[in-house]
Amino acid sequence: MAIQQTVVEVSLKNLKNNLRFLKSKLNPNTLIMAVVKAFSYGADAFIISKELEKQKIDYLAVAYTSEGLALRKKGIMSPILVLHPQINDFNTIIEYNLEPSIYSFRILKAFMSSAKFQKNYPFQIKFNTGLNRLGFHENQIDSLIDHLNGLKPTYIFSHLGASEDENEKNFSNDQIKKFSSLAKYFQNKIGVKIKRHILNTSGILNFSEAQYEMVRTGIGLYGFGNDNKYKNALKPVINLKTVISQIHKIKKGDSVGYNKGFIATNNITTATLPIGHADGISRLYGNGNGKVMVNGKFAPIIGNVCMDMMMINISKIVCKEGDQVIIFDDKNISADEFTKSIDTISYEILASLSKRIKRVIIN
Ligand SMILES: *Cc1c(COP(=O)(O)O)cnc(C)c1O
């Protein structure tokens, strides 16, 4: 399909493939929570959530209340965990039937004193087992149970800090052990079994023995397993493509772009692309660091990436204005590979793709 502008192509076929693969790593009755925060890692949270509902997903998760609200307003009905609510969110959370993660006494208090609070409203409790980002500490359980005043969470959960890192297996196993034991303590104290989850995508792939009753997957659904060995099994859901807007002949000694970021050492040909740092292509990709694909050949990004455009060197490539340019896709250059050139990770570029880029569903 010929494109006429910058597009994010969203492959629902690849999404289904990835869900199937992740499921194959789990016991048949383990529930799956799909993480659709940050616009579904750039894909489009509504498109992805709708497809996941078709695939009978058990739970969705977002980072912030506004993200859950947007999904509800578009008709998404699945249970939605809000990972990181803020104190003023609870009326909205309850009104829109979102499930808050309660991660501190301050948040618990805000939840319980919300005007819309009801005694059996579903919520989850987040424990900190070593990431030291959000969650109650092990030594706060007794006090937490006092404060809960008989309320029971639907789930308790925690988050691994280095599940993708082979060299940090001990750290991950320690987190899992700590979670197991605090979960047991918590259950014993309140006298009922509470369901649990701790694994993210890399956790599913590397520590599947700790799947408990549910797992959470984000990046895996979008096609990345944090390890090259999953390259064939997991397929990128997002292709980022653009087009050549204009071609210029540049004479030796002339400059290209803001602040004369590139100076031609020979006569060259450049192409201007309608995508820039406002769209998620960091300025770090400029000055030859990043490269994109034109008609099967790589072209370096030259000079400084502008807000809405960037320029590439196409001197050795046969192409014309209007031709398609691949920034990353599921065939030629993965988002992982593209981001390696500036020493970052697929998560970052996916989540920063601007909303002004059109999303197009393919297959
Ligand atoms: C973002 C997030 C996830 C998803 O992690 P992936 O590595 O993308 O699978 C899971 N749990 C929490 C708490 C998160 O913040």
Asked if the domains 11-230 and 238-362 are classified in one and the same CATH topology, the answer is no
Exposed/middle/buried for residue 23 (C-beta within 10 Å: 0-12, 13-18, 19+): middle
Closest C-alpha to ligand 1, atom 12: 159
Q: Any catalytic annotation for residue 13? A: no
110 C-alpha vs ligand 1 centroid, how far in Å? 24
**Residue with CA at minimum distance from ligand 1 atom 13:** 159
Name the residue at shortest CA distance from atom 6 of ligand 1.
218
Ligand 1 atom nearest residue 201's Cα: 9
* pLDDT tens digit at each of 363 positions of the chain: 578 999 999 999 999 999 999 999 999 999 999 999 999 999 999 999 999 999 999 999 999 999 999 999 999 999 999 999 999 999 999 999 999 999 999 999 999 999 999 999 999 999 999 999 999 999 999 999 999 999 999 999 999 999 999 999 999 999 999 999 999 999 999 999 999 999 999 999 999 999 999 999 999 999 999 888 999 999 999 999 999 999 999 999 999 999 999 999 999 999 999 999 999 999 999 999 999 999 999 999 999 999 999 999 999 999 999 999 999 999 999 999 999 999 999 999 999 999 999 999 997
CB 237 within 8 A of CB 224: no
Q: DSSP code of 58? A: S
Taking the centre of ligand 1 as the mean of its atom positions, its distance from the CA of residue 142, in whole angstroms, is 27
Verify whether residue 184 is a known catalytic residue.
no
Give the ligand 1 atom nearest the CA of 217: 9
Supply 320's token pair. Answer: 């014309």
pLDDT attached to residue 341: 95
Report pTM. Answer: 0.96
- Using CB distances shorter than 6 Å, the residues near ligand 1 are 35, 37, 83, 159, 200-202, 216-220
Which pLDDT value is given to residue 214?
A: 98
* Cα(321) to centroid(ligand 1), Å: 40
Residue appearing with tokens 């397929």: 235
Q: Which atom of ligand 1 is nearest to 63's Cα?
A: 15
Bridge partners of 243, per DSSP, are 324
Mapped onto helix, strand or coil, the DSSP state of residue 112 is helix
Cβ distance 250 to 256 under 8 Å? yes
Which residues 6+ apart lie within 8 Å of 247 measured at CB?
269, 270, 271, 272, 314, 319, 320, 321
The amino acid present at 112, given as its one-letter code, is M
Segment 51-104, tens digit of pLDDT: 999 999 999 999 999 999 999 999 999 999 999 999 999 999 999 999 999 999
| Ligand 1 centroid to residue 265 C-alpha, Å | 46
Helix (H, G, I), strand (E, B) or coil at 71: helix
CA distance 106 to 65: 17
Ligand 1 pocket mutation, candidates 82, 124, 156, 200, criterion most atoms within 8 A of CB: 200
Distance 106 CA to ligand 1 centre (A): 23
For 71, phi and psi rounded to 5 degrees?
-70, -40
Find out whether 121 and 102 touch, Cβ atoms under 8 Å: no
The values of phi and psi at residue 359, to 5°, are -95, 130
User: Which residue in the list 64, 96, 185, 258 is annotated as catalytic?
Assistant: 258
Beta bridge partners of 161: none
pLDDT at 1: 58
Q: What are the residue ranges spanned by the domains of the chain? A: 11-230, 238-362
Q: Active-site residue among 25, 37, 126, 291?
A: 37
Q: Which of 15, 18, 21, 35 to mutate to test the pocket of ligand 1 (most atoms within 8 A of CB)?
A: 35
pLDDT the model gives residue 3: 82
Q: Domain 11-230 in CATH: superfamily?
A: Alanine racemase (3.20.20.10)
* CA 261 – CA 65 distance, rounded (Å): 41
Specify the pLDDT at position 226.
83
> Which fold is adopted by the domain 238-362?
Lyase, Ornithine Decarboxylase; Chain A, domain 1 (2.40.37)
Which residue, among 16, 79, 11, 33, has the nearest Cα to 196 in the 3D structure? 33
CA of 200 to the centre of ligand 1 (A): 5
Cα distance from N-terminal residue to C-terminal residue, the chain: 12
